[in-house]
Amino acid sequence: MSYKIPMGPYHPALEEPYKLDLICEGETVCDAKLHIGFNFRGIEHLAETRNYIQVTALMERVCGICSNIHTLTLCQAMEQLAGQVPPPRAKYIRVIMAELERLHSHVLWAGIASKLMGFKTMFMTCFEIREKVMDVLAAISGNRVNYSMNRIGGVNRDIEDPQSILAMINQLASEMMSTVIPIFTTSSTARSRCAGIGVLTAEKAISCGVVGPTARASGLPQDLRRAAPYAAYSELEFNVPVEPAGDVRARLFVRALEIVESIRILRQALEKLPPGEINTGDDKFKFITGTATSRVEAPRGEVMYSVSWKE
Q: For 38-64, what is each residue's pLDDT tens digit?
A: 888 889 899 999 999 999 999 999 988
Peptide bond into 9 cis (omega under 30): yes
Non-local (6+) Cβ contacts of 247 within 8 A are 194, 195, 196, 197, 198, 199, 200, 217
> Which residues are registered as beta bridge partners of 151?
154
From first CA to last CA, the distance across the chain in angstroms is: 62
Over pLDDT 70: what percentage of the chain?
100
| Selection from 109, 135, 111, 108 nearest residue 124 by Cα | 111
pLDDT for position 10 = 85
| Selection from 122, 119, 126, 104 nearest residue 263 by Cα | 104
**H or E stretch at 19:** strand 19-25
Over pLDDT 90: what percentage of the chain?
67
Query: In the sheet that 3-7 helps form, which strands lie side by side, from edge to edge?
Result: 3-7, 19-25, 28-35
Alpha helices in the chain (DSSP H): 43-47, 52-59, 67-82, 88-116, 120-141, 162-175, 181-186, 188-194, 202-208, 212-216, 224-227, 248-272
Overall average pLDDT of the 260-264 stretch: 94
Local confidence band at 306 (pLDDT 50, 70, 90 cut-offs): very high
pLDDT for position 153 = 95
Q: Tell me how far apart the alpha carbons of residues 200 and 175 are, in angstroms, rounded to a whole number.
A: 31
User: What is the maximal distance between C-alpha atoms in the chain?
Assistant: 68
Overall average pLDDT of the 143-165 stretch: 93
- The burial of 90, by beta-carbon neighbours within 10 Å (0-12 exposed, 13-18 middle, 19 or more buried), is given as buried
Better-scored residue on pLDDT, 162 or 194: 162
Cα 113 from chain centre: 16
The least confident of 30-34, 70-74, 152-156 is 30-34
Non-local (6+) Cβ contacts of 263 within 8 A are 103, 169, 172, 173, 176
pTM of the model as a whole: 0.91
Overall average pLDDT of the 72-76 stretch: 97
What backbone torsions phi and psi does residue 141 show, to the nearest 5 degrees? Answer: -105, -20
Q: Tell me how far apart the alpha carbons of residues 74 and 56 are, in angstroms, rounded to a whole number.
A: 7
Q: How far is CA 266 from CA 78, 209, 255, in A?
A: 26, 29, 16
Q: Tell me how far apart the alpha carbons of residues 147 and 141 are, in angstroms, rounded to a whole number.
A: 6
pLDDT for position 117 = 81
Q: Is pLDDT at 12 greater than 80 in this prediction?
A: no
Q: Is pLDDT at 269 greater than 90 in this prediction?
A: yes
What average pLDDT is seen over the chain?
91
Count of alpha carbons within 13 Å of 141, Cβ hemisphere only?
Answer: 25
Query: In this structure, are residues 211 and 301 in contact, taking their beta carbons and an 8 Å threshold?
Result: yes
pLDDT digit string, tens, across residues 170-228: 988 898 888 888 877 787 877 788 888 889 999 999 999 999 999 999 999 999 999 99
Overall average pLDDT of the 9-30 stretch: 86
Please tell me whether residue 5 adopts helix, strand or coil conformation.
strand
